[in-house]
Amino acid sequence: MPLKQNQSEAAQFDEWLKNSSTGIRLEEIINPFLYPFIHRIVFLIILLCGISLIIFDLKTYSGKMKVLPIKTEDDKETPDLKEKAVPVNFGEILAVIQSKTIFKATKMIPPPPPPKSFEPKGPTLEEKIRSLTLIGILNENPVQAIIESKQNREVYYIKSGDTLLDMEVVSIAPGEVTLRYKDETKILR
């Protein structure tokens, strides 16, 4: 039931719209085949405006236009600049500019000193070895050493060439392990 009511309202609205309009729709005005005279009138107006602008420009900027001289405070005419003009030799000007060293530093500033090499302070190899305990040596292939860290109570199984807490294991012999840290070499027993 509400659908039929909506359809009848739409039909009433369409009928009202047809009766209230002027009779010419926008689509009819834009369509050049229905009303070609409107387009011709618009074209002629645009053409006349363009022609009048061109004629105005030609009159304004033609050589026949009179320019009034500039007057000073004393009401005297300014002298003609062409009479006082001096010929310019651009070669001389260029030579003067090139002789000036405008981009050269006025005094030499010594370069900054090179930065000092910074080595972070940290534990030495001796301090690192003191925190380790050699538990034993396994005579297997390859030979392994068992080392315990006193700080964190961890046990490490290492062989020659391994890295232990930033130290390189150089060699393992019965009862000792040779460790290298930076340029130092020490034996852990």
User: In 3D, which of 129, 166, 130, 135 has the Cα closest to residue 148?
Assistant: 135
Domains of the chain by residue range:
9-67, 126-188
Distance CA 100, CA 70 (A): 39
Give the pLDDT of residue 164.
87
Give the pLDDT of residue 1.
43
Burial class (CB in 10 A: 0-12, 13-18, 19+), 160: middle
**What is this structure's pTM?**
0.37
* Token reading at 27: 């689509």
Which positions of the chain have pLDDT values less than 50? Answer: 1-3
How many CB atoms within 10 Å of residue 165? 16
For strand 132-138 and strand 144-149, is the pairing parallel, antiparallel, or unpaired? antiparallel
Give the pLDDT of residue 175.
87
Give the pLDDT of residue 111.
85
CB 184 within 8 A of CB 178: no
Give the pLDDT of residue 169.
92
Look at domain 126-188 and name its CATH class.
mainly beta
